[in-house]
Each structure stands twice: as structure tokens, then as C-alpha cells.
Amino acid sequence: MKRSAEPFGVRICGTGSCVPARVLSNDDLSKLVDTNDEWIVQRTGIRERRVCDLSREGTFTMARDSLKNALDAAGMKGSELDLIIVGTVTAEMTCPSVAARVGAALGAVPAAAFDLSAACCGFVYSMNLAQALIQSGQFRTIGVVGSECMSSIVDYTDRTVSILFGDAAGAAILKRDPDPRIGCLYSTMGADGSGWSSLYIPRREQEVPECDRDSPIALGHLRMNGKEVFRFAVTKFREVIEDAMSKTGLTPESVGQVICHQSNIRIIESAREKLGLPSEKVFINIDRFGNSSAGSVGLCLDQLWRAGKIEKERPFVMVAFGGGLTWASGVWRI
Ligand code: COA
């Protein structure tokens, strides 16, 4: 596509999400591992999470259904997409990508398609990349998805990891728009790979660091150093939100929603309090869905969008951190 001389914007035309019907409550978990509802609620804010029936659901089906919901909300067909990006670390296969299968299922052939691996930042990274690709003139209409079947990589004998994660997908349709005022006003993406071993999914023993060799968690499952991740996240989260707001001149009064990756209620609340953000501007659904990695921010966006809480006048912020270690933000005006 040729670059246009006229400036243009990027419209979020519709959003969608998908969560499996099966609920895994804290009481259910306490039958699997030595834990209890009170401990989990106090330390994380999570009461229940959704988990796939792996015989018929997973990252692909949730990605497909969330993108279909977003297309329906936008009044569009799959054939109108020219790229699909799926943020995920739980793809059923490394080849083909989840995105390619989603494209075929929704009639989006021959749209380009690829998966993006940035752990819990998957959706925010994908949104940032998609808007930049539209701004480059290369693509016009992009389906962005974050989809994660965490239950397929969680070891349900490990009480530190199993209590946190759930399954979900969220999606948005981005389209080039003649109005240059709308779209992404500011974005950041960062990573510090020196911290990779605090959150990782090893496939081979060779990849496991010396200090973790005795871990009882089987290969192919998520391993986490909760304390290290917490320490990193609690500072990084605040810094990233603060940066996004100051660079765009937003204040706690003028900003719309601040959509945080749902990692732990204590991490979100600590950032919210330090930044003086009112609680009604920081959406929380971790109590019902847990941490769904790349699914989390897209799910929040869809729930807020459908509730009419994303306002035209007030830019909203999306922010995430996760394995890598990675972090990302995006400030959007609709
Ligand atoms: N149920 C009951 N007790 C538990 C437990 C559980 N599920 N998990 C750990 N404990 C116990 C520990 O064994 C420890 O007992 P001890 O004091 O007798 O040794 C005690 O509770 C405190 O454990 P600790 O690991 O210090 O808890 P914590 O306050 O750090 O909370 C996490 C643990 C995992 C909830 C917290 O570290 C966290 O949320 N980290 C960030 C994780 C995250 O966000 N990951 C995703 C990033 S995208």
C-alpha cells in the first residue's frame, strides 16, 4: 500500500472476548493443593478463574471466538482483515500459528497471520505493533487477539502457580481512519531478559537454571519465582503508568480508564494508590478470572467497551508486564 500524504488515525472498530464456561473456584483448588480461599483472596484478590475443557477448547478456539465477537461488534467480516496477530505463549502448536488457523476459520484468507510471544504483555504488544503497521501504510485492517490457555501449562500440584492463572481471550479490530485525532497517542514496549528465569516454561532440561534443577514441576509447565516477579512488577507497573500519563499530559482527573494486566490485586492497588487514581478508573476483574496472561487486558477492554465505559473524550491507558521479563503501555483515544 502506498503511503498517503494526509495524516490519518486508527479506529478501534469493535472488541470481543471469550472465556470458557468451566469455573475453578478457590475451594475447588483447595481440593487439589494445600491452600484455602482466605489465603488466595488476601494475597491475590482472586476468587475464581475459568479453565478450558481441553478436549474441545483451548487457545485456538478462544482466539477464534473472541475475534469473531469483535468482528460482529464492528459489523465486519473476516474477509475484511488483512492481518491477524495473536499474542500468546500457549499456542497448541509452534507451527502453524494460532493466528493462521483463526484466519482460515473466519474466512480471512489471504490475510497475513502470526503469533507474538510476549507473555502477559502479548495483547498490549500486539496492539502497539498493529497500530504502527497501520500507521506505516502497510496494512489497513488488523485483528488483534490475546489468547491464553494457561490451564494447559499450569502444574496443579504447585500451589504458588496454580492459584493465579486462568484461561481467557480478548480481541480488537483496528482500522485505518481518516480522523488523525483518534488512535494510539503513545506507546512503550520494553524487556529485560536478564530476569527470564523468574517466569518461564522450559521444554528441555538444558534450559533449566542450576538453582531450579530440583524443581518438582515437570518440563512444559510454568515455573515462577513469585517474590521476584512481585518485586519487579510492583515498581515497573507504577513507572510504566506514570510514564504513559506524563508523556501524554494525562492526570488522574483527565484520564479515562487505566486498564491493567490482572496479575495480582496488591500490585494493581499499590500502583493505583501511589498515582492517586480513583478506583472507578482502574478496572478489576481478577476476582472472577484470575491472571489470564495475554488474555487479560483484551478481556478487560472488551468488558469496559461493552459497558460503555470507554469514553470518546478521555484517552484510556493499557498497561502490562510479564514473562521475559517484559512490559508495555499504550494510550488510546477513540
Ligand atoms: N496457599 C497457602 N499458602 C501458601 C500458598 C498458597 N497457595 N502459596 C504459598 N503459601 C505459603 C508459603 O509456603 C509461605 O509459607 P511460610 O511462611 O510458612 O514459608 C507463605 O504462604 C508466604 O509465601 P510467599 O511466597 O512469601 O507469599 P507471597 O505473599 O509472596 O505471595 C504470590 C505469593 C505468588 C501470590 C506473590 O508472590 C505474587 O503474586 N507474585 C507475583 C506473581 C505474578 O504476578 N505472576 C504473574 C506475572 S504476569
Q: What percent of the chain has pLDDT over 90?
A: 97
Ligand 1: residue whose CA is nearest its atom 14: 160
CB of 54 closer than 8 Å to CB of 82? no
Q: Is the pLDDT of residue 6 over 90?
A: no
Domain presence at residue 2: no
pLDDT in tens, 118-138: 999 999 999 999 999 999 999
Same domain flag for 189 and 221: yes
Same domain flag for 167 and 66: yes
Find out whether the beta carbon of 160 lies less than 6 Å from any atom of ligand 1. yes
CB of 20 closer than 8 Å to CB of 52? yes
Question: Does the bond joining 7 to the residue before it have cis omega, within 30 degrees of 0?
Answer: no
Q: CA–CA separation, 92 vs 94, rounded Å?
A: 7
Same domain flag for 156 and 221: no
User: How many angstroms separate the alpha carbon of residue 36 from the centre of ligand 1?
Assistant: 12
Domain presence at residue 4: no
At 4, the pLDDT band (50, 70, 90 cuts) reads: low
Number of structural domains, the chain?
Answer: 2
User: How many angstroms separate the alpha carbon of residue 221 from the centre of ligand 1?
Assistant: 18
Find out whether the beta carbon of 163 lies less than 6 Å from any atom of ligand 1. yes
Cell 484470575 belongs to which residue? 290
Domain presence at residue 134: yes
Q: Is the pLDDT of residue 151 over 60?
A: yes
Residue 277 is given by DSSP the state -
Domain presence at residue 163: yes
Domain presence at residue 239: yes
Q: What is the dihedral of CA 264, 266, 270, 276, to 10 degrees?
A: 90
pLDDT in tens, 231-261: 999 999 999 999 999 999 999 999 999 999 9
Domain presence at residue 234: yes
CATH assignment of the domain containing 196:
3.40.47.10
User: How many angstroms separate the alpha carbon of residue 149 from the centre of ligand 1?
Assistant: 22
Same domain flag for 177 and 189: no
pLDDT at position 183: 97
CB of 146 closer than 8 Å to CB of 296? yes
The structure's pTM equals: 0.96
Same domain flag for 169 and 315: no
CB of 305 closer than 8 Å to CB of 313? no
Ligand 1: residue whose CA is nearest its atom 12: 160
Q: Is the pLDDT of residue 105 over 60?
A: yes
Which secondary-structure segment (H or E) carries 135?
helix 122-135
Same domain flag for 124 and 272: no
Same domain flag for 20 and 148: yes
pLDDT at position 166: 98
User: How many angstroms separate the alpha carbon of residue 226 from the centre of ligand 1?
Assistant: 6
Same domain flag for 154 and 191: no
Same domain flag for 320 and 256: yes
Of the residues 141, 156, 181, the one at which a domain ends: 181
| Nearest ligand 1 atom to alpha carbon 159 | 7
Ligand 1: residue whose CA is nearest its atom 21: 39
What is the mean predicted confidence (pLDDT) over 318-328? 97
User: How many angstroms separate the alpha carbon of residue 162 from the centre of ligand 1?
Assistant: 11
Q: Burial of 50 by CB count in 10 Å (0-12 exposed, 13-18 middle, 19+ buried)?
A: buried
Find out whether the beta carbon of 171 lies less than 6 Å from any atom of ligand 1. no
Residue 228 is given by DSSP the state H
Same domain flag for 212 and 269: yes
Ligand 1: residue whose CA is nearest its atom 7: 159
| Nearest ligand 1 atom to alpha carbon 161 | 34
Domain presence at residue 3: no
Find out whether the beta carbon of 44 lies less than 6 Å from any atom of ligand 1. yes
What range does the domain containing 148 cover?
9-181
Cell 496454580 belongs to which residue? 162
Of the residues 181, 200, 225, the one at which a domain ends: 181
- Give Cβ neighbours of residue 183 (< 8 Å, ≥ 6 apart): 9, 10, 11, 131, 135, 177, 332, 333
User: How many angstroms separate the alpha carbon of residue 283 from the centre of ligand 1?
Assistant: 23
Find out whether the beta carbon of 198 lies less than 6 Å from any atom of ligand 1. no
Of the residues 131, 162, 181, the one at which a domain ends: 181
Q: CA–CA separation, 104 vs 109, rounded Å?
A: 6
Find out whether the beta carbon of 161 lies less than 6 Å from any atom of ligand 1. no
Find out whether the beta carbon of 162 lies less than 6 Å from any atom of ligand 1. no
| Nearest ligand 1 atom to alpha carbon 229 | 41
Same domain flag for 225 and 270: yes
Q: Is the pLDDT of residue 292 over 70?
A: yes
Just list the catalytic residues. Answer: 120, 261, 291
If one residue of 90, 121, 155, 230 were mutated to test the ligand 1 pocket, choosing by the most ligand atoms within 8 A of its CB, it would be 230
> How many CA atoms within 13 Å lie on the side-chain side of 182?
14
Cell 537454571 belongs to which residue? 209
Q: CA–CA separation, 198 vs 90, rounded Å?
A: 18
Work out the angle at residue 105's Cα, subtended by the Cα atoms of residues 49 and 101, and round it to the nearest 5 degrees.
Answer: 75
How are beta strands 141-149 and 167-177 bridged, if at all? antiparallel
Domain presence at residue 59: yes
Same domain flag for 161 and 190: no
Find out whether the beta carbon of 226 lies less than 6 Å from any atom of ligand 1. yes
At 3, the pLDDT band (50, 70, 90 cuts) reads: low
